[in-house]
């Protein structure tokens, strides 16, 4: 059974001065106004200049510059969407953010609407978040659409499709989502208005920059702070582990080692750490002192998930790719046919009766990368094959061990629990 629930989720005090949670936990509108004051009265041009100078990038995973999205959005009949779908099941940052600092997110969405001339704002969030914040959102004129919690539902075009049609699946589009486009054929033809999709955390940072400026935002030494979902993991009796997800705000550029030290969490003998989520990358011990963020290791959705000494990169990566192959919309060839083929190749590499050399199997993944790249309706195939290739290249030595009935791990627990 696939699950996205660790034993518990904890919000931790910020590393450094709190920004996103400066109004305290579960801040209502009064606590928010007391700490942050009213929304700044600045022109759209002034706000855009501050966002550009700040270097704010998207916090949802892709890392696209927030300023570029804003200035390229067509102003006619546009919609701002707060993307808190959080389909990446290891991530909890957006749920924690909405629960504790929703008004900062809503401020950012309203400022973004002001900058692009949008007439509509929609919150797209999981059921647990909708239940917690729907009343406050509606009080501020923000519509609410419930996200299903599937991996693919957080992809930008799937978010737009869910808002427009109720179907949270990616759709084929020639133009960028933030420009208008005619869709459909025949009597089904209609014009889709510009849709500006921003992650919830990105919008919260936008609200802070509008109040305090770009220089303040960058005073941490990078492009502000980020929310991380940091996993504390311990081996349990039998073939499992006890996992706790800690959500924390920390400066960009912090290292994996520093994160665990500042949080007071045990972090030793971990053979690798998954950074960013299931389509992120593996960090090895020599990477643990490298900065996280735009100047170092990309953090994507901010997930930090260490493997235990009883787990190996090849087996866990294979299970992750199997999960990603199943999490497709069944709409295009690269997803429907390409991803299962990719999962089979990586499974072959992890199998004890290795019929082909690791180099041959890695070569096959590289061929699939060429065949799949840019040919899907969305980027799900591209990101999955990139992660699979990264896993294969990192785990070539592990594949040789598996071929001889050995493994660097004494026992293996699935990164994705299936049953």
Can you give the pLDDT of all 419 residues of the chain as single tens digits? 234 467 899 999 999 999 999 999 999 999 999 999 998 888 999 999 999 999 999 898 777 889 999 999 988 889 999 999 998 889 999 999 999 999 999 999 999 999 999 999 999 999 989 988 999 999 999 999 999 989 999 999 999 999 999 999 998 766 678 887 766 544 444 567 889 999 999 999 999 999 999 999 999 987 899 999 999 988 877 667 789 999 999 999 999 999 999 999 988 778 899 999 988 899 999 999 999 986 678 888 999 999 988 888 998 999 999 999 999 888 888 899 999 999 999 999 988 776 788 889 999 999 999 999 888 888 899 999 999 999 999 998 888 888 888 888 865 444 444 32
In 117-253, DSSP assigns E strands to 120-126, 143-147, 181-183, 190-192, 195-199, 225-236, 240-251
* Residues 14/15/19/24 CA torsion (nearest 10 deg): 20
Q: Which residues of 204-226 are buried (b: 16+ CB within 10 A; e: fewer)?
A: bbbbbbbbbebeebbebebbbbb
pLDDT given for residue 175 in this prediction: 64
Q: Do β-strands 225-236 and 303-306 pair in parallel, antiparallel, or remain unpaired? A: parallel
What stretch(es) of the chain map to CATH 1.20.1440.230?
Answer: 313-403
Task: Name residues whose C-beta falls within 8 Å of residue 33's C-beta, 6 or more positions apart in sequence.
Answer: none
How many alpha carbons fall within 13 Å on the CB side of residue 114? 20
CATH no. of 313-403 = 1.20.1440.230
> How far, rounded to the nearest angstrom, does the alpha carbon of residue 308 sit from its chain's CA centroid?
23
pLDDT given for residue 412 in this prediction: 43
Cα separations in angstroms, 205 against 132, 210, 417: 21, 9, 34
Q: Which two tokens stand for residue 251?
A: 């400066």
Cα separations in angstroms, 291 against 91, 250, 275, 366: 20, 12, 12, 29
Residue 409: exposed, middle, or buried by beta-carbon count in 10 A (0-12, 13-18, 19+)?
buried
Task: Name residues whose C-beta falls within 8 Å of residue 48's C-beta, 6 or more positions apart in sequence.
Answer: 67, 70, 71, 115
In 331-371, DSSP assigns E strands to none
The fold for domain 225-306 equals Ubiquitin-like (UB roll) (3.10.20)
What stretch(es) of the chain map to CATH 3.10.20?
Answer: 225-306
Cite the DSSP H helix spans in 177-309: 200-212, 214-217, 256-263
The fold for domain 16-219 equals Rossmann fold (3.40.50)
Task: Name residues whose C-beta falls within 8 Å of residue 397's C-beta, 6 or more positions apart in sequence.
Answer: none
In whole angstroms, give the CA distance from residue 375 to residue 331: 12
Cα separations in angstroms, 380 against 226, 270, 341, 374, 388: 24, 28, 15, 10, 12
pLDDT given for residue 294 in this prediction: 65
pLDDT given for residue 60 in this prediction: 87
Cα separations in angstroms, 400 against 271, 366, 378: 17, 19, 34
In whole angstroms, give the CA distance from residue 384 to residue 93: 22
* Partners of residue 65 on adjacent β-strands: 57
Backbone φ and ψ of 47, nearest 5°: -65, -45
Q: Is the dihedral of CA 301, 104, 179, 224 positive or negative?
A: negative
Whether the pTM exceeds 0.75: the reply is yes
Q: Are 139 and 116 in contact (CB under 8 A)?
A: no
pLDDT given for residue 182 in this prediction: 65
What stretch(es) of the chain map to CATH 3.40.50.11540?
Answer: 16-219
In whole angstroms, give the CA distance from residue 335 to residue 330: 6
- Helix, strand, or coil (residue 218): helix
In whole angstroms, give the CA distance from residue 363 to residue 345: 10
pLDDT given for residue 2 in this prediction: 30
Residues constituting the chain: 419
């Amino acid at each position: 059974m696939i699950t996205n629930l660790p034993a518990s989720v904890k919000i931790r005090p910020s590393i450094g001065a709190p920004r996103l949670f400066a109004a305290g936990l579960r801040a209502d509108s009064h606590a928010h106004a007391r700490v942050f004051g009213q929304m700044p009265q600045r022109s759209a041009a002034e706000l855009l200049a501050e966002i550009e100078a700040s270097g704010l990038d998207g916090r949802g995973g892709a890392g696209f510059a927030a300023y570029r999205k804003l200035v390229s959005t067509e102003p006619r009949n546009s919609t701002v969407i707060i993307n808190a779908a959080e389909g990446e099941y290891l991530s909890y940052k957006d749920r924690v953010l909405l629960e504790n600092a929703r008004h900062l997110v809503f401020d950012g969405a309203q400022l973004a609407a002001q900058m692009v001339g949008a007439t509509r704002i929609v919150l797209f969030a999981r059921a647990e978040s909708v239940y917690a914040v729907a009343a406050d959102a509606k009080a501020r004129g923000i519509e609410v659409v419930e996200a299903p919690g599937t991996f693919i539902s957080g992809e930008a075009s799937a978010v737009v499709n869910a808002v427009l049609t109720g179907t949270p699946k990616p759709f084929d589009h020639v133009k960028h989502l933030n420009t208008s486009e005619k869709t459909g054929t025949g009597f089904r033809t209609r014009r889709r208005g510009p849709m500006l999709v921003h992650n919830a955390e990105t919008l919260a940072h936008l609200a802070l920059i509008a109040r305090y400026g770009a220089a303040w935002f960058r005073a941490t030494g990078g492009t502000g702070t980020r929310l991380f979902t940091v996993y504390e993991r311990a081996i349990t009796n039998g073939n499992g582990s006890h996992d706790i997800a800690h959500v924390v705000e920390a400066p960009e550029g912090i290292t994996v080692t520093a994160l665990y030290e500042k949080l007071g969490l045990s972090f030793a003998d971990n053979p690798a750490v998954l950074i960013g989520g299931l389509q992120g990358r593996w960090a090895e011990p020599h990477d643990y002192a490298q900065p996280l963020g735009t100047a170092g290791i990309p953090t994507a959705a901010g997930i930090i998930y260490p493997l235990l000494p009883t787990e190996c990169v090849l087996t866990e990566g294979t299970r992750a790719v199997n999960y990603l192959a199943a999490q497709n919309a069944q709409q295009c060839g690269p997803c429907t046919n390409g991803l299962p083929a990719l999962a089979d190749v990586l499974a072959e590499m992890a199998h004890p009766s290795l019929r082909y050399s690791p180099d041959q199997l890695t070569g096959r993944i590289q061929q699939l990368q060429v065949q799949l790249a840019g040919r899907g309706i969305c980027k799900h195939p591209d990101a999955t094959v990139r992660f699979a290739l990264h896993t294969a290249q990192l785990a070539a030595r592990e594949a040789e061990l598996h071929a001889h009935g050995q493994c660097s791990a004494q026992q293996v627990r699935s990164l994705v629990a299936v049953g």
